[in-house]
Amino acid sequence: MSVLPKEQLTTATAILRQYEQVAESGRRGHLGASEIGHECNRYLWLSFRWAKNPTFDGRILRLFESGNREEPRLIANLRAIGADVHDRDENGAQFSFKDIGGHFSGSMDGAAKGLPEAPDVWHVLEFKTSNAKSFAALEKHGVEKSKPQHFKQMQMYMGWSGMEWAMYIVVNKDTDAIYSERVALQPAKFNQLLAKAQRIISDVEPPIGISENSSKVPCVWCTFKDQCHGTEAPQVNCRTCAHSTPELDGDARWSCQVHKKDLDIATQRAGCAEHRHIPVLLGRFAELMDANENHVLTYRNKLTNVEFQQPAYSSAEITACEHKQMLGEKVVDAFKREFGASVFDGMADDLPWATVEDIQPVAKPKKGKK
């Protein structure tokens, strides 16, 4: 029997892996203007609550970097044709805006005056890159129809900054062609988006999802597909905990009801032993039956019709357990009581011991018998 060769580490794969190794972990602390135009409110809520960290491979991370590198080039192009471009504030940072207690914010690429279409008017600048297919759709339909999320992002920057126009500039990554379009402020649209952000931040439970069909767009590619349509439980951190609240009277302030204190970003990411999932986030496989003042929660496992409790099953166990039928199962409960066992599916591939199948002798059939 031939042995399969081990994967060869090429220079190309080494470069892409390095991107993955240094990639920032965890979500940003605010709801972003760049995503408020997303069509699914449930996606936005789960994103803001850090229900799951998106993971990107090295190629995608490098693609993001390529898009960012186009911005200074376009700024230089605009200045070369005589435009007055401001891309940094007096402190050398991007122009940024905050709203709804600092929980909703965004940073625009810059502002320009002296553009050929309207030389005396200041414009919000928004730079993007696109593949040839999306670029063709943009040329045919314009940004509002073909890229509604980008259109709504610019509405926020115009409303916040007081500028009534934006200049949308897109570079075709395949041909280096450039598309530009002036976009006018729509005050009603700005107010609608602001109200939408308010709801996303303030709601204690997630909105209804955009679709019941997990095999169709947009659900099929969604980060939260297995939480909305399967039995995956959200990640354990302060934002998925029933005890935490996004307060509206500070700078993106979160508070904890149990510990009676504000929570900084590092603390929010870490969570604590008192974590209790927001019950509806477990709704695909568990129904909350009771909750007492000592933060003991009793659930009915919808898959098996047996009960289990938090913290007897920790939040970390509930999230890590791939097969939710195990939660509350009698044998599992007995092991937990007797041995202090935890419910975590699977084990590392490099553990030194063999599996049962490895150590069982293979019975050879007797001659003449099958």
Q: What average pLDDT does this structure show over 234-256?
A: 97
Does a structural domain hold residue 312?
Answer: yes
Does a structural domain hold residue 4?
Answer: no
The predicted pLDDT at position 28 comes to 83
Q: Are residues 255 and 307 in the same domain?
A: yes
Q: Are residues 130 and 253 in the same domain?
A: no
Q: Are residues 142 and 47 in the same domain?
A: yes
What is the residue-averaged pLDDT of the chain? 89
Is the Cβ–Cβ distance between 179 and 169 less than 8 Å?
Answer: yes
Query: Residue 185, Cα to own-chain centre: how many angstroms?
Result: 28
Give the global pTM. 0.86
How far is 267 from 70, CA to CA, in rounded Å?
Answer: 35
Q: Could you say which DSSP state residue 224 is in?
A: T
Whole-number Cα distances in Å, 207 to 13, 45, 196? 40, 7, 11
Confidence of residue 50 (pLDDT cuts 50, 70, 90): very high
Q: What average pLDDT does this structure show over 29-41?
A: 96
How far is 136 from 81, CA to CA, in rounded Å?
Answer: 25
pLDDT at residue 302 tops 60? yes
Neighbours of 193 (CB within 10 A): 20
Does a structural domain hold residue 280?
Answer: yes
Confidence of residue 351 (pLDDT cuts 50, 70, 90): very low
Give start and end residues of each alpha helix (H) in the chain. Answer: 11-22, 41-48, 58-80, 132-141, 143-146, 148-161, 187-202, 225-228, 265-270, 315-320, 330-339, 356-359
Cis preceding linkage at 54, omega within 30:
no
Cis preceding linkage at 218, omega within 30:
yes
Q: Put residue 87 in one of left, alpha, beta given phi > 0 → left and psi -120 to 50 → alpha.
A: alpha
Q: How many residues does the chain have?
A: 370
Confidence of residue 320 (pLDDT cuts 50, 70, 90): very high
Any idea what the CATH number is for the domain that residue 112 is in?
3.90.320.10
Task: Say which residues have a Cβ less than 8 Å from residue 235's Cβ, sequence separation at least 6.
Answer: 50, 51, 52, 53, 319
How far is 185 from 237, CA to CA, in rounded Å?
Answer: 38
The residues facing 254 across adjacent strands are 246
Q: Are residues 192 and 245 in the same domain?
A: no
Q: Are residues 117 and 248 in the same domain?
A: no
Which of 4-8, 31-35, 92-96 is least confident?
4-8
Q: Are residues 161 and 261 in the same domain?
A: no
Does a structural domain hold residue 364?
Answer: no
Does a structural domain hold residue 154?
Answer: yes
Confidence of residue 368 (pLDDT cuts 50, 70, 90): low
Does a structural domain hold residue 358?
Answer: no
Percentage with pLDDT > 90 across the chain:
74
Number of H helices, E strands in the chain: 12, 14
Q: What average pLDDT does this structure show over 314-336?
A: 91
How far is 317 from 344, CA to CA, in rounded Å?
Answer: 6
Q: Are residues 197 and 238 in the same domain?
A: no
The residues facing 168 across adjacent strands are 126, 181
- Look up tokens 């019950």; give the residue: 279
Q: Are residues 47 and 152 in the same domain?
A: yes
DSSP string, 14-73: HHHHHHHHHSPPS--SSEETTTTT-S-HHHHHHHHTTSS-----HHHHHHHHHHHHHHHH
Percentage with pLDDT > 70 across the chain:
89
> Three-state DSSP class for 298?
strand
Nearest to 157, CA basis, from 179, 118, 131, 189: 189
Confidence of residue 367 (pLDDT cuts 50, 70, 90): low
Q: Are residues 42 and 147 in the same domain?
A: yes
- How many domains does one find in the chain? 2
Label residue 114 exposed, middle or buried (CB < 10 Å: 0-12, 13-18, 19+): middle
Q: Are residues 128 and 237 in the same domain?
A: no
Which of 73-82, 123-132, 311-320, 344-353 is least confident?
344-353
The predicted pLDDT at position 318 comes to 96
The predicted pLDDT at position 54 comes to 80
Is the Cβ–Cβ distance between 99 and 251 less than 8 Å?
Answer: no
Which of 55-59, 87-91, 155-159, 304-308 is least confident?
55-59
Confidence of residue 357 (pLDDT cuts 50, 70, 90): very low
pLDDT at residue 27 tops 80? no
**99-125 pLDDT, tens per residue?**
999 999 999 999 999 999 999 999 999
**220-242 pLDDT, tens per residue?**
999 999 999 999 999 999 999 99
How far is 50 from 224, CA to CA, in rounded Å?
Answer: 10
pLDDT at residue 263 tops 90? yes
The predicted pLDDT at position 356 comes to 33
Range of the domain at 133: 23-202
Confidence of residue 21 (pLDDT cuts 50, 70, 90): confident
Tokens at 58, concatenated:
């090295």
pLDDT at residue 139 tops 90? yes
pLDDT at residue 369 tops 70? no
How far is 26 from 287, CA to CA, in rounded Å?
Answer: 29
Q: Are residues 141 and 252 in the same domain?
A: no
Does a structural domain hold residue 353?
Answer: no
Q: Are residues 55 and 198 in the same domain?
A: yes
Does a structural domain hold residue 370?
Answer: no
> Three-state DSSP class for 161?
helix
